[in-house]
């Protein structure tokens, strides 16, 4: 697959991942039973797998450039996003704690976008 096609698939998966996360976080905060639907439980894993595989393939295509600090920053922030997402959807004990975790997760995701666009660990602050 060409770099451009892979990048577009990666960006599309990123957008879908964020959009679906926000919807699921909202459902978690309000206590909606919709979170228990099979489609809602499985779809994020499919989207996020495509997102991650495309990201890894892009890094492989970058070769030596993949060792850049901005890419390492994205990976560390992705781990932070995942942990916050777990608290926002499943692990948060109260609606308030899930809402705070969701907001923080979205902020981290926006920071990841800044790092991706600027190719600087400082992201939007560069």
What is the tens place of the pLDDT at every residue in 1-28? 888 999 999 999 999 999 999 999 999 9
CB 88 within 8 A of CB 106: no
Interval 82-126: pLDDT, tens:
999 999 999 999 999 999 999 999 999 999 999 999 989 999 887
Instruction: Using the structure block, give the residue that is written with the tokens 């990201």.
Output: 55
Q: Is the pLDDT of residue 38 over 70?
A: yes
DSSP readout, 12-27? HHHHHHHHHHHHHHHH
In the structure, what pLDDT confidence band is assigned to residue 64 with cuts at 50, 70 and 90? low
In the structure, what pLDDT confidence band is assigned to residue 65 with cuts at 50, 70 and 90? low
Question: Of 29, 32, 43, which is closest to residue 92 (Cα–Cα)?
Answer: 29
CB 66 within 8 A of CB 59: yes
CB 51 within 8 A of CB 43: no
């Amino acid at each position: 697959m060409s770099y451009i096609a892979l990048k577009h698939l990666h960006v599309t998966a990123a957008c879908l991942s964020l959009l679906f996360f926000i919807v699921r976080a909202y459902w978690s905060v309000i206590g909606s039973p919709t979170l228990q639907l099979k489609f809602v439980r499985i779809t994020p894993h499919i989207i996020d797998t495509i997102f991650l595989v495309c990201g890894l393939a892009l890094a492989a295509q970058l070769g030596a450039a993949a060792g850049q600090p901005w890419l390492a920053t994205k990976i560390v922030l992705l781990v932070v996003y995942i942990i916050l997402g777990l608290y926002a959807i499943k692990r948060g004990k109260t609606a308030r704690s899930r809402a705070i975790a969701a907001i923080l997760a979205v902020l981290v995701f926006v920071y990841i976008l800044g790092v991706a666009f600027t190719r600087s660990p400082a992201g939007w602050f560069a």
